[in-house]
């Protein structure tokens, strides 16, 4: 059986996309479906390559028993050939992903989505970047992502 591959993408890959990745993995673990998926995250920027997720996001996620284990990396041309779904956290990163694909890849393998298209509870059109705000912003992002990541899962399963 071929695995479904999902790449969550934000700007720096230290707040929103690693949280979305961890939430998705946690959901898969609870459903016993990890064997059928490849799940990663990346950033459109390169500032944080190799770093762990922001400590404030890791702490907020740990309070919900969600472990963020990934390290930051930048999206690459090869990702358009590896991942069935590339899921952007906001409009700016969605456009950056589309631009990168148009410049570097001739494949139509990946379906590029906006995570908030799968929300059911929250009205936000984009997942806000909590990096420059207070600690409560990280909890808010986790609330938003738990909703939209669940909706995304339901749409592909």
Q: Choose, from 16, 56, 58, 119, the residue flagged as catalytic.
A: 16
Closest by CA to 27, choosing from 146, 156, 155, is: 146
Indicate the DSSP class of residue 20.
H
User: Whose structure tokens read 């999206």?
Assistant: 75
Does 15 qualify as catalytic in the annotation?
Answer: no
Q: Choose, from 26, 54, 79, 129, the residue flagged as catalytic.
A: 129
Does 129 qualify as catalytic in the annotation?
Answer: yes
Contact residues for 80 (Cβ-Cβ < 8 A; gap 6+): 86, 101, 104, 105, 107, 109, 110
* 16-31 and 55-62 helices, crossing angle to 10°: 30
Dihedral (CA of 122, 126, 127, 131) sign: negative
Separation of alpha carbons 30 and 72, rounded Å: 25
Separation of alpha carbons 6 and 24, rounded Å: 9
Q: Choose, from 10, 58, 90, 119, the residue flagged as catalytic.
A: 10
Does 54 qualify as catalytic in the annotation?
Answer: no
Residues forming the active site? 10, 16, 129
């Amino acid at each position: 059986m071929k695995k479904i591959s999902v790449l969550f993408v934000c700007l720096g890959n230290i707040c929103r996309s690693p949280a979305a990745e961890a939430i998705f993995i946690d959901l898969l673990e609870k459903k016993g479906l990890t064997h059928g998926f490849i799940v990663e995250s990346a950033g459109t920027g390169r500032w944080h390559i190799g770093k762990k997720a922001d400590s404030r996001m890791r702490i907020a996620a740990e309070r919900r028993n969600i472990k963020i284990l990934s390290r930051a990396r930048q999206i690459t041309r090869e990702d358009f050939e590896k991942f069935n779904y590339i899921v952007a956290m906001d409009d700016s990163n969605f456009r950056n992903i589309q631009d990168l694909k148009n410049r570097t890849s001739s494949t139509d393998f990946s379906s590029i989505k906006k995570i908030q298209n799968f929300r059911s509870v929250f009205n936000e059109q984009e997942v806000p970047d909590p990096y420059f705000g207070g600690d409560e912003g990280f909890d808010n992002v986790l609330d938003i992502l738990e909703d939209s990541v669940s909706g995304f899962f339901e749409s592909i399963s």
